[in-house]
Each structure stands twice: as structure tokens, then as C-alpha cells.
Amino acid sequence: MKEPARILIVGGGYVGMYTALRLQRKVRRGEAHIIVIDPEPYMTYQPFLPEAAAGSISPRHVVVPLRRTLPKCQVVIGEVTSIEHAKRTATISTLATREDSTGAIEVHYDELILAPGSISRTLPVPGLAEHGIGFKTVEEAIGLRNHVLEQMDIASSTRDPDVRDAALTFVFVGGGYAGVEALAELEDMARYAARYYHNLEPDDLRFILVEASGRILPEVGEEMGRYALRELRGRNIDVRLDTRLDSCADRVAVLSDGARFPTRTLVWTAGVKAHPILSATDLPLNGHGRLKCTAALTVEGVEHAWAAGDASAVPDLTAEEEGKLCAPNAQHAVRQAKVLAENVLASLRDRPLKDYRHKYVGSVASLGLHKGVAHVYGKKLKGYPAWFMHRAYHLSRIPTFNRKARVLAEWTLTGLFKREIVSLGSLENPRAEFELAADTGRHPEAS
């Protein structure tokens, strides 16, 4: 009897999870054994990160548990450190291998699907590594929410005007989706929270958006981008176009236009880059460090290797320009995963492969509660209709009925009751109280 093909999926994000989900539904009994490897036991639905940061959605509902969603797959929580495709082996470091000091393990496979996603693209800006805050994971989103509320606590209680001004100045770098949506949602939340501080006014808070190009939200088109710019500036948000961050050393944001802003909050959302695991493989990469792929989502010139999403350079067959690649976004990733799963099955069954083609239909973006912009199928929406479309679209896209129901329930409750404005920063260091008690001998009941 023929041994089941071992399919190794590196990454449990959009492409990895959706591909595994489709494979487990369509694979025949004994046809394949599917292994999914990711450092986290969940997939993060990133479009909901801004709402999680603003408190509109609980962070646990922004993530989809891999083991529950993929019961017919073997889910391994670990990190792939290298891949030698010529030998069909991947080297993996797991929590157990680090705990028992046995060293990394080797996993053999027949088919490789690379979907590790991307990481934040940083620049050698002085002070960025020490003071910058990312916005790509649910931990970063909730950490940023706690941080913003803690800065308001500091500003409310300090007697030093310089500390107060720095605490109430929030600088966001990057005018794409992540930067604009994160800023808009947090600005909405922070100005709302200010009403509960006896000595803070909403106008005391200063939000600054720094963008190196001449426009924001290029994905929604020029007209809607201009509307979003007017909307943000109308909310007293300082948007600086054609401007770069030159330094943030000593907690002072120095911009290329000469402006200087003492700040305790600098959020970096200026793009992403290919995951470093790609450079630890023997597979062909393009000049941007992404895997060279064919339209059928195979790695160019290599058998039994597949890729999609942020890690891949897939030709866009619907583009008028020759040689144009598919944009590394969720819209392509989810659709590529479907074609990828079908092609892997077709390869196992000696059937012809299909090319991936999807014409970009447009984008939607939230600008805070009840505010948004959209450019979909040639139609342009703004304000409440665009915000509603943003929520409806992403509710339809988040995996599993369980998550859809929970998110919808939370939105309903948020509409009926007031915002939650509590900072739970202590969650980031849960042993601090116990360590204090252990060091000082203080009894929990003692004053």
C-alpha cells in the first residue's frame, strides 16, 4: 500500500491555515498526512487588530486556534530554522527541544508549502529599536492600547509639564492600512477616555502621522485617499506627507522637515519584509527576498515546493503591465490559498495545475468608530456606509462560524454600552506582584 504523502506547511497565517483547512476537507483517507508548523498556536486576523486595540473586540476573538480549526492536521508549535529542499528536510526548534536541550529536530516531507508571512520592515533609525512599537501581532495591539492609557495616567498625575506633553504626544510612522487604521481607532478611544480624567481634555492629546510618500491609503484610490486625509486633519490629527522619521533617540521624534516632538509613544508601521526563514532555504529568491513563483503557485524551477502570500512573488496575470506581481495583501492570500490547496491535490493525483488569477476588486479601511473609506468594484463610499462595509466584509472573511458569532456579539454589546477604557498593562508582567512580595517578605494582606 502506498504511503501517505507528507505535506509540510510552514506558517499558520492566512495562506497556511486556509490551505490546511481546504486540504483536510478534500484529502482522501490515507492520501496525505498534513503537518502545520507555526510559532503560535493560532492564526491572527490582522484587519481586526485596530479594533482590538481600541477595545471594540476582545483580543481572544481576533485569533483563530489552529488545533481546533485543523483537527485532521498535525499542528506543531515551533519555528523552522532551515530548509534543505534537495533532501526534503526541515529543521525545527520547538518549546520542548529548547527545554530539554536536545537540539532542533528534522522533519521529512514530500510536498513543501511555504507560507511564513512577513515581518515588520525597519530602518536604521537611531532609537527605533529601543523605543519603537510595532503593530503586527495581537500582543503588540493590546500592548499599545495599555501603553496609550498608561500615558494618559502619567499625564494626569505628573506635575512636570514636559513629561505631560511627551506622554500626550503619539507619533505613528506609516500611512498605509496598518498605520492609518491603528491611529484612527486609538485616537477615537483615547479622546473618549479623556472625559474620565479630571484634568485632561480631548484637545490635550496630540496625534501625528508621518508618511514618506505624498499620500495615505494608496489602496483605496487617490480620491478616497484625499478624503481620508481631510477626515484625519479635521479631527486635529497632524498628518505630515513627504516626511521621514530621522531619529527617535532619547524619546524625541525628529522628522525630516525639521520638526521635533518629545514623545513616549512611537508606533512603527512603515511596511513589511519577507520572513527571514526564506533566506535559510535552498530555494530561489527575487531581489526583495521573496520566493520566485509561477502563476500555479509552484516555486520556480523546483518540484514539490509551493508558496503563496507575503512570502511569494506571484505574477499577476490580470495586470496590464507585463511582469507585475500580486500585491502581498490578505485579499490575494486568501484566494491564493484556495488555488494552492487544489493544485497540491492535483499534483498528488497527477492532474493538471491551474493558474492563479484574481483582479483586485478594491479596498475598505476604517477611520475609527462609524467612519471609513471604501473603493470597491469602482464604487466609492465614505463615512458610515464605508465603515459598515468594512465591518461586514471582514466579518464574512474571518474563519469559522464560532469567531463570526463572537465578533458580532461583541460589536452589538459595544454599541449598547460604553467603551472599555481600562489598561491591563500588568498582564504583560504577571509575576511582578509575586516577585515584589517574595523580595520584601510582604504579605498580600499587609498594607
Number of domains in the chain: 2
Q: How far is CA 194 from the centre of its chain?
A: 28
Q: What is the rounded distance in angstroms from the CA atom of residue 87 to the CA atom of residue 84? A: 6
Residue 126 DSSP SS3? coil
Distance CA(263)–CA(161), nearest Å, equals 13
Give the range with max mean pLDDT: 91-100, 130-139, 214-223.
130-139
Is 333 domain-assigned?
A: yes
Q: What is the mean pLDDT of residues 189-215?
A: 94
- CATH number at 43 reads 3.50.50.60
**Any residues with CB less than 8 A from the CB of 371 and at least 6 apart, and which?**
184, 231, 383, 384, 386, 387
More confident residue, 427 or 59: 59
DSSP 415-441: HHSPPP----GGGGSTTHHHHHHHHH-
In Å, how far are 122, 132, 163, 396 from 177, measured between CA atoms? Answer: 17, 18, 30, 19
Taking the C-alpha atoms of 159, 164, 167 and 173 in order, what is their torsion angle to the nearest 10 degrees?
A: -160
Q: Does residue 362 lie within any of the structural domains?
A: no
Same domain membership, residue 248 and residue 149 = yes
Contact yes or no for 269/250 (Cβ under 8 A): no
CATH number, residue 184: 3.50.50.100
Residues 28 and 130 in one domain: no
**306 contacts 115 by C-beta, under 8 angstroms:** no
Q: Same domain for 223 and 300?
A: no
Residue 401 within any structural domain of the chain: no
- The answer for residues whose C-beta is within 8 angstroms of residue 86's C-beta and 6 or more apart is 282
Instruction: Output the pLDDT for position 243.
Output: 96
Predicted confidence (pLDDT) at residue 88 exceeds the cutoff of 50: yes
320, pLDDT greater than 50: yes
Whether 375 is in a domain gets the answer no
Co-location of 137 and 263 in the same domain: yes
Instruction: Check: CB of residue 229 under 8 Å from CB of residue 242.
Output: no
370-420 pLDDT, tens digit per residue, is 899 988 877 888 999 999 999 998 999 888 899 999 999 999 988 888 777
CB 34 within 8 A of CB 350: no
Q: Last residue of a domain, which of 270, 285, 301?
A: 270
Is the domain of 190 the same as that of 303? no
Q: Is residue 421 in a domain?
A: no
Q: Which of these three, 242, 270, 298, is where a domain ends?
A: 270
Q: Does residue 23 sit in the same domain as residue 137?
A: no
131 and 227 both lie in a single domain: yes
* pLDDT at residue 442, rounded to an integer: 56
In a domain, 423, yes or no: no
Other CB atoms within 10 A of residue 396 CB: 8
Are 162 and 254 contained in the same domain? yes
Q: What single-letter amino acid sits at 40?
A: E
Report yes or no on 231 lying in a domain: yes
Residue 289 belongs to a domain: yes
- Number of other CB atoms surrounding residue 226 within 10 Å: 14
Q: Are residues 134 and 218 in the same domain?
A: yes
Q: Do 135 and 111 share a structural domain? A: no
Query: 239 and 209 in contact (C-beta within 8 Å)?
Result: yes
pLDDT, tens digit, 9 for 90 and up, residues 239-262: 999 999 999 999 999 999 999 999
pLDDT band at 441 (very low <50, low <70, confident <90, very high): low
Number of CB atoms found within 10 A of residue 320's CB: 6
Do the bridges between strand 245-247 and strand 105-108 make them parallel or antiparallel, or are there none, so unpaired?
unpaired
Final residue of a structural domain among 270, 300, 334: 270
CA atoms within 13 A on the CB side of 312: 32
The range of the structural domain enclosing residue 36 comes to: 5-120+273-348
| Mean pLDDT taken over the chain | 90
